[in-house]
Amino acid sequence: MEVKIYNYPYNSKIGDYITSFVSQKRNAGYPYNSSARILRVFDEMLIDNFPNETTITKEMIDFWIAYKPKEHPNGLLRRMTPIRQLSIYIKHFDDNCYVVPGHIPNKQIKYDHYIYAKEELIAFFNVVDNLKPSIYSPYKTYIAPVIFRLFFLCGMRHSEVIRLEKDDIYDDYKCLRIKESKSWKERKIYLSDELSGMLKEYDEIISLLEPNRNFFFPSCICDGPISNTTVSTWFKEISKEAFKDIPLKGSKRVIHSFRHTYATERLTRWIEDDIDVNTMYPYFSRYLGHSDYADTDYYIKLVSSFYPEMNKRMNKVNEEILPEVLDYEKE
């Protein structure tokens, strides 16, 4: 199934450039939905504040940077990236176009990744499986036990789980399809019998409440999927109860930590079982939805960092894995 493409109108004086630029990205195989939305906001800003400008100017970019004065650096980076790409594109046609510098913001904040200990996972899912019904979140007791297990047991990204549609789960709940991932490549994930059974039981219940839903995890207030904010709020509430007697060991616990825990646990288990990680590496990278092997190699380093006793064995993996991955990439 193809990823849904959202087409936005661009009506500023540089709207034709934006439309052509977005089309070029999509012709190259990228849905480009998130960036297209950012460009839509940029276009509306131009209509309101620079109605007569026919190319990108420094004043325009300065205004765009100040658009959200208290914005997190990573948020600014997300807003600036498509604008910089657009400016480079327009420069090919208009020498007067101001090319946005690549150092805005000056520094992207990188977070230290947290790996959950066994006692933390037991405590977390014990709370999840014993949630009480809430008039504010009537579907929480049905959705939370399933959605958080997909984060941990499958290593899925937050956005991938939330965007799952009903027909993305198939083969009697044994397989799910991820269409709109970070790398924009469709992939499949096969589920264990136990997790498959949980999805089937959940689907039977939620179908009675939302018989016409399109998304596997529906919102209770609109026709769309459950929101990021709702799931994040649940995570904070559950974590507060689950970890009240468990001190934090390291950086901040976040939902994405389930994905890091999954990846490091999988690699560690392969190494302990003397499974050739070098052979499994390309498949593992595809499973995680990585478009670049450097992203997967990060987990190799995490295993060494969080499990010091694995260092000697990990050094051998590091030495062997990178050359073969590079050869594989050329094929």
pLDDT tens digits along 132-148: 988 889 999 999 999 99
pLDDT computed for residue 169 by the predictor = 94
pLDDT computed for residue 325 by the predictor = 32
What mean pLDDT comes out for the span 146-161? Answer: 92
Nearby residues of 138 by Cβ (< 8 Å), 6 or more positions away? 220
Question: Who wins on pLDDT, 243 or 282?
Answer: 243
pLDDT band at 110; cut points 50, 70, 90: low
In Å, how far are 112, 143, 193, 204, 263 from 199, measured between CA atoms? 32, 10, 10, 9, 22
Least confident range of 159-168, 205-214, 244-253, 280-289: 280-289
The per-residue b/e assignment along 30-54, b for 16 or more CB within 10 angstroms, e otherwise, is ebbbebbebbbebbeebeeebeeee
Asked whether residue 120 carries a pLDDT value surpassing 90, the answer given is yes
pLDDT computed for residue 317 by the predictor = 41
Least confident range of 5-9, 66-70, 260-264, 300-304: 300-304
Question: Who wins on pLDDT, 19 or 300?
Answer: 19
pLDDT computed for residue 180 by the predictor = 58
Question: Who wins on pLDDT, 105 or 240?
Answer: 240
Enter the pTM of the model. 0.62
**Residue 217 buriedness (CB in 10 A; 0-12 / 13-18 / 19+):** buried
What tokens were used for 214? Answer: 């399109």
118-242: which CATH number, 1.10.443.10, 1.10.275.10, 3.40.50.12780, 2.40.128.20?
A: 1.10.443.10
Question: Who wins on pLDDT, 133 or 94?
Answer: 94
- The domain locations on the chain are 15-91, 118-242, 257-330
pLDDT computed for residue 44 by the predictor = 95
pLDDT computed for residue 62 by the predictor = 93
Question: Who wins on pLDDT, 236 or 224?
Answer: 236
pLDDT computed for residue 308 by the predictor = 54
